């Protein structure tokens, strides 16, 4: 197990990880918008819909992360983890955003642009 590095960053690892997660979800939502537009420009509604769904999942993940982060920053985070664990499922809103260039969790190849 790795050692806590909060003394270097000034932020506890779990809090840093939560901050990173929210940023990654938001960044992925923005990226998916570009991919939707590319697919629509090429007339591929099936691929555009895939990216819209991925974007919606990223938005949900960001919202969940922001709620948890807000609760922890205000000191009201007790029990907040149970809300996430009850709705987290593979590839669902509680899962980390999937980089579209890596293999999917179901073993399928990533979509190509």
Residue-level pLDDT at 8: 85
pTM of this structure: 0.63
Residue-level pLDDT at 63: 98
Q: Which residue did the predictor score with more confidence, 52 or 15?
A: 52
Paired tokens of 108: 């399928």
pLDDT digits (tens, 9 = 90+) for 49-86: 999 999 999 999 999 999 999 998 887 765 544 444 43
Average pLDDT over residues 90-104: 48
- What is the distance between the alpha carbons of residues 41 and 3, in angstroms, rounded to a whole number? 48
- What is the distance between the alpha carbons of residues 60 and 75, in angstroms, rounded to a whole number? 23
pLDDT digits (tens, 9 = 90+) for 23-52: 999 999 999 999 999 999 999 999 999 999
Residue-level pLDDT at 99: 52
Tokens 């983890």 locate to 81
- What is the distance between the alpha carbons of residues 54 and 76, in angstroms, rounded to a whole number? 30
């Amino acid at each position: 197990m790795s050692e806590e590095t909060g003394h270097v960053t000034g932020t506890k690892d779990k809090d840093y990880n939560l901050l990173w997660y929210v940023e990654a979800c938001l960044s992925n939502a923005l990226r998916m918008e570009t991919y939707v537009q590319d697919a629509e420009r090429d007339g591929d509604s099936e691929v555009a819909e895939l990216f819209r769904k991925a974007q919606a999942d990223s938005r949900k993940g960001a919202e969940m992360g922001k709620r948890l982060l807000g609760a922890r920053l205000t000191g009201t985070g007790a029990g907040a983890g149970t809300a996430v664990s009850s709705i987290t499922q593979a590839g669902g809103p509680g899962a980390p955003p999937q980089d579209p260039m890596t293999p999917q969790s179901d073993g399928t190849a990533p979509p190509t642009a």
